[in-house]
Amino acid sequence: MKKIIFLIMGLVFISCDSKESTEFEPEPEIKKPKVTTGQITEIDENSAKSICSVTTYGGVEIIDKGICWHTQENPTAEVLYSSKNGSGAGTFTAYCVGLKPTTKYYARAYAKYEMEGQEWMDIVYGEQRTFTTLREVTLPSVNKLNITNITTTAATVSAEITDDGGSPIKERGFSWKKKDSDSYIQIPCGTGLGSFTANLTDLKPATEYEVKAYASNSKYSDYTYGTFFTENETFTDSRDGNVYKSVTLGKQVWMAENLAYLPKVSSASSLSSKEPNYFVSGYNGINVTEAKATENYKTYGVLYNWPAAMAGAASSNANPSGVQGICPKGWHLPSDKEWTQLSDHLGGEDVAGGKLKETGTSNWETPNEGATNESRFFALPGGDRYGDGKFRYNGRYGYWWSSTEFYIDAVWFRELNYSHCRLDRHNYSNHYNVKVLGFSVRCVRD
């Protein structure tokens, strides 16, 4: 303001310039920060994520920023449900945590700010986002494990996931291994619910495998478990076209079925222990076709007296016996030493029987004590045909010839019993062997 001083007759007058304004200038306008609430992502049952940002315009200082959420609209930073992400402008990643499963939430980013040199503070919010948390994550449900198309070297496995446990299945598949192995081979089969299938290959014949169908969601993994045996190897008897299973046990390869070669059927009145005789348990006729149509033939094979089993060969206790006897070409009747080798391979006479016997009571009488069939030998109780013309013990006992005489008219043989798990070695006496006119035969590959 300009001042003009007049000096008149000793008096001093002060005059103000009327052109000068007496009003104060207004404070400059404050431009609020801009807050952006990003899309809500990575939602699970207890948390969610948002990429947010704060943009400022000169003279504004961000002293606090974050995200707030609530089950009611327009949550504020003053409520309990908020998280802080430091100060300053820019982009930041915010998390909503401690949420309840299957609940709808409202969320928005916020920023607290002040002007430089000022003591007051204000807060601004970004746009409101809504989201619903997932249900609580639990174990997925993996079931309906099926093992099909089993061959000597392959199998098909399938399973189904009926519930993802509240979180999408991120991985599913199968793991398999030999039962006595420590390491699994894994086959991934994609993601998601529903059925899935895989082929297991390069398996070994007559071998037990473990397989697991598994599924994993965001938190948990579950599986269903099963075991299976691959099929025994097979060969064909060129004499009659019969196909037999075989199994490798140690250094031996054995038939895994009773021999069923039937060149003729001896009459019920045939009691000779010197001439070859061939019988089918329970059948008293002489018609080969009729005999082969019986269930006992299909299940237990043929009963041979020792001359028929040996086919004219001399006794042998060599290993291998060198006696083809009634066996197919390339196979031979086992000697007593070969039976002992098998028994020793399976842990000795006291336990070998259980490992040889077919399990269950379809073909063995109850209790079929100790039967595990872990050898895949599938031993079956064909019984015997006694010198009085009667068939005995079908379903209860199994008897198998060796190629080895103990002494004249007494031959070593092996017995399995429905009531214990031993593999018994017998010859009894010459009277017993003379009177027995029919035992089963298992052959060994040359």
Is the model's pLDDT at 308 over the cut of 60?
yes
- Tokens, residue 445: 């590959």
CA dist 324 and 445 (Å) reads: 10
Q: How confident is the model at residue 428 (pLDDT cuts 50, 70, 90)?
A: low
Residue 432 pLDDT greater than 90, yes or no: no
Mean pLDDT of 284-299: 97
The pLDDT assigned to 121 comes to 86
Residue 148's pLDDT is 96
Domains 34-132 and 141-229 agree in fold: yes
What pLDDT score does 1 carry? 40
- For residue 57, pLDDT over 50 is answered with yes
Domain covering 141-229 assigned CATH 2.60.40.10 in the classification: yes
What pLDDT, on a 0 to 100 scale, did the predictor assign at position 16? Answer: 42
Note the pLDDT tens digit of each residue in 356-409: 999 999 999 999 999 999 999 999 999 999 888 899 999 999 999 999 998 877
Residues making up the chain, counted from first to last: 446
Question: What is the pLDDT at residue 388?
Answer: 83
Which carries the bigger pLDDT value, residue 116 or residue 258?
A: 258
Please state whether the peptide bond connecting residue 320 to the residue before it is cis, i.e. omega within 30 degrees of 0: yes
Give residue limits of the domains in the chain: 34-132, 141-229, 234-445
pLDDT score of 273? 78
Mean pLDDT of 428-440: 68
Q: What is the pLDDT of residue 20?
A: 46
User: What pLDDT is recorded for position 11?
Assistant: 40
Residue 14 has pLDDT above 50, yes or no: no
Ranges 15-24, 67-76, 172-181, 383-392: which has the least confidence: 15-24
Task: Report whether pLDDT(194) > 50.
Answer: yes
Q: Label residue 365 exposed, middle or buried (CB < 10 Å: 0-12, 13-18, 19+).
A: middle
For range 286-309, the mean pLDDT: 96
Q: Sorting pLDDT into bands at 50, 70 and 90, what band is 434?
A: low
Is 431's pLDDT higher than 80? Answer: no
Confidence bin at 429 (pLDDT 50/70/90): low
321-332 mean pLDDT: 97
Q: Is the pTM of this model over 0.85?
A: no
Q: How far is Cα 352 from Cα 117, in angstroms, rounded to an integer?
A: 95
Burial (0-12, 13-18, 19+ Cβ within 10 Å), 183: exposed
3-state secondary structure of 436: strand
- pLDDT for 229 equals 93
**Tokens representing residue 50 in the block:** 């948002």
Q: What is the DSSP string of 290-344?
A: HHHTSHHHHHH--EE-HHHHHTTPPP---SS----TTSPTTEEPPPHHHHHHHHH
pLDDT band at 326 (very low <50, low <70, confident <90, very high): very high
pLDDT tens figures, 216-260: 998 899 999 999 999 999 999 999 999 999 999 999 999 999 999
Asked if the 34-132 domain carries CATH number 2.60.40.2060, the reply is yes
- Residue 342 pLDDT class (50, 70, 90 cuts): very high
Q: Crossing angle for the helix pair 336-345 and 349-356, nearest 10 degrees?
A: 80
Question: pLDDT exceeding 70 applies to what percent of the chain?
Answer: 91
Place of tokens 């070859």: 276
Chain centroid to CA 332: how far?
A: 40
Q: What integer pLDDT is reported at residue 6 of this predicted model?
A: 38
pLDDT band at 418 (very low <50, low <70, confident <90, very high): very high
pLDDT of residue 2: 42
What's the pLDDT at 340?
A: 98
Q: Rounded to 5, what percent of the chain is helix, strand, coil?
A: 10, 40, 50
Which structure tokens are listed for 72?
């009611």
Mean pLDDT of the chain: 90
Tokens 């109850």 locate to 366
Which residues on adjacent β-strands are paired with residue 8? 11
